[in-house]
Structure 1
Amino acid sequence: MRYFILGVTEARDATGGVLPLGGARLRALLAVLALRPGRAVPVGELVDGVWGADPPYDAGAALQALVGRLRRVLGKEAVDSDPGGYRLAAGPDDVDLYVFEKLAREGAAQLEADDPRAAARTLREALALWRGTALVDLPGGDHGVRPEAQRLAALQHRIEADLRCGVTHSLVPELKELTATRPYDEPFHALLIRALRAQGRQADALAAYERTRRTLADGLGVDPGPELVALQGQLLTATGPGPPPGGATGPAAPAAPAAPAGNIRPRLTSFVGRERELAVIRADLDRSRLVTLTGPGGSGKTRLAEESAPPDAWLVELAPLDHESALPGAVLSALGLRETHLSTRDDRTSAQDNPTARLVDHLARRPMLLILDNCEHVIGAAAALAETLLTRCPGLRVLATSREPLGVPGEAVRPVEPL
Structure 2
Amino acid sequence: MRYGVLGPLVVWTSAGIPVPVPETKVRALLANLLLHNGDPIPVDRLVEDLWAGSPPGRPRNALQAKVSQLRRALGRDEVLHQPAGYRLRLDADALDAERFRDLLRQARATADARARAGLLGAALALWRGAAYLDVCDAPFARAEITRLEELRLSAVEERAEARLELGEHAPVAEELGELVRQHPLRERLRMIQMRALYRTGRQGEALACFQDLRCRLAEELGVAPGPEIAGLHEAILRQEPELAAPVPAVRCRSNLPAPVTALIGRQQAIEEVSCLLVRGSGTRAVSLTGPGGVGKTRLAVAAAHSLSGDSPDGAWLVELAGLSPGLTEEDLAERIIATLGLCDTTTAEPEPVDVVHWLGQAVAERSPLLVLDNCEHVLEPVAALVAALLAAAPGLRVLITSHEALDIPGEVVRPVPPLAVPDQPDPALAARAGAVELFVQRAAAAVPGFALDADNVHAVVTICRRLDGIPLALELLAPRLRVLSPDQLAECLDDRFNLPIGRGRGRPARQQTLRAMIDWSWELLTEAERTVLSRLAVHPDGCVLAGAVAVCSGSGIPAERVLDLLSRLVDRSLVVRDGARFRLLESVAAYCLDRLAESGALTSARALFVRAGLDLAEQADRQLRGAEQHRHLELLDTETVNLRRALDTAVGTGDAAAALHLVNSLAWYWFLRGRLTEARRWFQAALAVPDGPEQATAVARAWLAGVELRTHAAGAGERAGELVAAIADPVRRARLSWFLGSALSGQTPGRELLAAALTGARAAGDSWGEAVALVERAARTEPEAMRADAEAGAALFRELGDRWGQLRATRALAMAAELGGDETLARTRYRAALAVAEELGLWTEAVETLSWLGRDALALGDTAQAEQLYQRARRISVERAYTRGEILAEAGLARTARVHAELSA
Per the normalisation by structure 1, the TM-score is: 0.55
1:272 CA drift (Å): 8.3
Give the counterpart of 2:121 among 97, 121, 124. 124
Q: Is the 8 A contact 1:9 1:28 kept in 2?
A: no
1:274 CA drift (Å): 4.2
Q: Aligned with 1:100: secondary structure?
A: helix
- Taking the TM superposition and a 5 Å limit, the aligned residue runs for 1:163-182 are 163-182=164-183
1:52 CA drift (Å): 2.3
User: What's the CA shift string for 1:300-347, capped at 9, x where partnerless?
Assistant: xxxxxxxxxxxxxxxxxxxxxxxxxxxxxxxxxxxxxxxxxxxxxxxx
Q: Aligned with 2:239: secondary structure?
A: helix
CA distance in 2: counterparts of 1:202 and 1:145, whole angstroms: 34
CA distance in 2: counterparts of 1:204 and 1:133, whole angstroms: 30
CA distance in 2: counterparts of 1:275 and 1:55, whole angstroms: 62
Which residue matches 2:48?
Answer: 48
- Taking the TM superposition and a 5 Å limit, the aligned residue runs for 1:227-238 are 227-238=228-239
- Taking the TM superposition and a 5 Å limit, the aligned residue runs for 1:356-371 are none
Provide closer, same or farther for how the CA distance between residues 49 and 170 of structure 1 changes in structure 2, counting only shifts above 3 A: farther
Which residue matches 1:187?
Answer: 188
Provide closer, same or farther for how the CA distance between residues 20 and 275 of structure 1 changes in structure 2, counting only shifts above 3 A: closer
Whether 1:197 and 2:182 are equivalent positions in the alignment is no
Which residue matches 1:134?
Answer: 131
Which residue matches 1:63?
Answer: 63
- Taking the TM superposition and a 5 Å limit, the aligned residue runs for 1:18-29 are 18-29=18-29
1:44 CA drift (Å): 2.2
1:165 CA drift (Å): 0.8
1:188 CA drift (Å): 0.7
Q: Aligned with 1:55: secondary structure?
A: coil
Q: Is the 8 A contact 1:104 1:123 kept in 2?
A: yes
1:45 CA drift (Å): 2.5
CA distance in 1: counterparts of 2:44 and 2:237, whole angstroms: 59
- Taking the TM superposition and a 5 Å limit, the aligned residue runs for 1:1-400 are 1-110=1-110, 113=111, 115-138=112-135, 139-140=138-139, 142-143=142-143, 144-238=145-239, 274=250
User: What's the CA shift string for 1:348-398, capped at 9, x where partnerless?
Assistant: xxxxxxxxxxxxxxxxxxxxxxxxxxxxxxxxxxxxxxxxxxxxxxxxxxx
Provide closer, same or farther for how the CA distance between residues 122 and 239 of structure 1 changes in structure 2, counting only shifts above 3 A: closer
1:104 CA drift (Å): 0.8
1:72 CA drift (Å): 0.5
* Number of equivalenced pairs: 243
Q: Aligned with 2:93: secondary structure?
A: helix
CA distance in 2: counterparts of 1:134 and 1:58, whole angstroms: 32
Q: Is the 8 A contact 2:166 2:249 kept in 1?
A: no
Of Structure 1 and Structure 2, the greater strand share is in 1
Q: Is the 8 A contact 2:40 2:82 kept in 1?
A: yes
Higher relative contact order (CA 8 A, sep 6+): 1
CA distance in 2: counterparts of 1:10 and 1:41, whole angstroms: 21
Q: Aligned with 2:81: secondary structure?
A: strand
User: What's the CA shift string for 1:21-78, capped at 9, x where partnerless?
Assistant: 1122111111111123333221122223322233223221111010000010111111
CA distance in 2: counterparts of 1:65 and 1:272, whole angstroms: 60
User: What's the CA shift string for 1:192-233, capped at 9, x where partnerless?
Assistant: 101111212222211211122112112221111112100111
Q: Is the 8 A contact 1:10 1:27 kept in 2?
A: no
Q: Is the 8 A contact 2:79 2:89 kept in 1?
A: yes
CA distance in 1: counterparts of 2:84 and 2:92, whole angstroms: 22
CA distance in 1: counterparts of 2:249 and 2:219, whole angstroms: 48
CA distance in 1: counterparts of 2:248 and 2:50, whole angstroms: 58
User: What's the CA shift string for 1:128-174, capped at 9, x where partnerless?
Assistant: 11111212333237241111111111111111111111112221122
User: What's the CA shift string for 1:242-287, capped at 9, x where partnerless?
Assistant: xxxxxxxxxxxxxxxxxxxxxxxxxxxxx985479xxxxxxxxxxx
Provide closer, same or farther for how the CA distance between residues 148 and 27 of structure 1 changes in structure 2, counting only shifts above 3 A: same
CA distance in 2: counterparts of 1:205 and 1:130, whole angstroms: 29
Q: Aligned with 2:41: secondary structure?
A: strand
CA distance in 1: counterparts of 2:57 and 2:212, whole angstroms: 55
Give the letter aligned to residue 173 of structure 1: E
Which residue matches 2:759?
Answer: none
After alignment, is 23-32 or 133-142 more displaced? 133-142
CA distance in 2: counterparts of 1:92 and 1:192, whole angstroms: 36
Q: Is the 8 A contact 1:79 1:87 kept in 2?
A: yes
CA distance in 2: counterparts of 1:70 and 1:183, whole angstroms: 42
Provide closer, same or farther for how the CA distance between residues 37 and 207 of structure 1 changes in structure 2, counting only shifts above 3 A: closer
Q: Is the 8 A contact 1:108 1:154 kept in 2?
A: no
Q: Aligned with 2:142: secondary structure?
A: coil
After alignment, is 9-18 or 64-73 more displaced? 9-18
CA distance in 2: counterparts of 1:272 and 1:167, whole angstroms: 9
Provide closer, same or farther for how the CA distance between residues 193 and 30 of structure 1 changes in structure 2, counting only shifts above 3 A: same
Sequence identity (%): 40
Q: Is the 8 A contact 1:100 1:127 kept in 2?
A: yes
Q: Is the 8 A contact 1:33 1:87 kept in 2?
A: yes
CA distance in 1: counterparts of 2:84 and 2:21, whole angstroms: 24
1:239 CA drift (Å): 8.3
Q: Is the 8 A contact 2:198 2:206 kept in 1?
A: yes
Q: Is the 8 A contact 2:8 2:130 kept in 1?
A: yes
CA distance in 1: counterparts of 2:238 and 2:170, whole angstroms: 25
Provide closer, same or farther for how the CA distance between residues 91 and 44 of structure 1 changes in structure 2, counting only shifts above 3 A: farther
Of Structure 1 and Structure 2, the greater helix share is in 2
Q: Aligned with 1:15: secondary structure?
A: coil
CA distance in 2: counterparts of 1:174 and 1:161, whole angstroms: 14
1:107 CA drift (Å): 1.0
CA distance in 2: counterparts of 1:183 and 1:273, whole angstroms: 33
Report the structure number with the largest CA radius of gyration: 2
Q: Is the 8 A contact 1:37 1:92 kept in 2?
A: no
Q: Is the 8 A contact 1:202 1:239 kept in 2?
A: no
CA distance in 2: counterparts of 1:107 and 1:47, whole angstroms: 39
CA distance in 1: counterparts of 2:223 and 2:248, whole angstroms: 46
CA distance in 2: counterparts of 1:272 and 1:223, whole angstroms: 36
Give the letter aligned to residue 123 of structure 1: L
1:92 CA drift (Å): 3.8
User: What's the CA shift string for 1:108-136, capped at 9, x where partnerless?
Assistant: 221xx2x1100110001001111112123
Give the letter aligned to residue 147 of structure 2: R
Per the normalisation by structure 2, the TM-score is: 0.26
Q: Aligned with 1:204: secondary structure?
A: helix
Give the letter aligned to residue 36 of structure 2: R
After alignment, is 12-21 or 138-147 more displaced? 138-147
5+ long unaligned stretches in structure 2: 242-246, 253-905
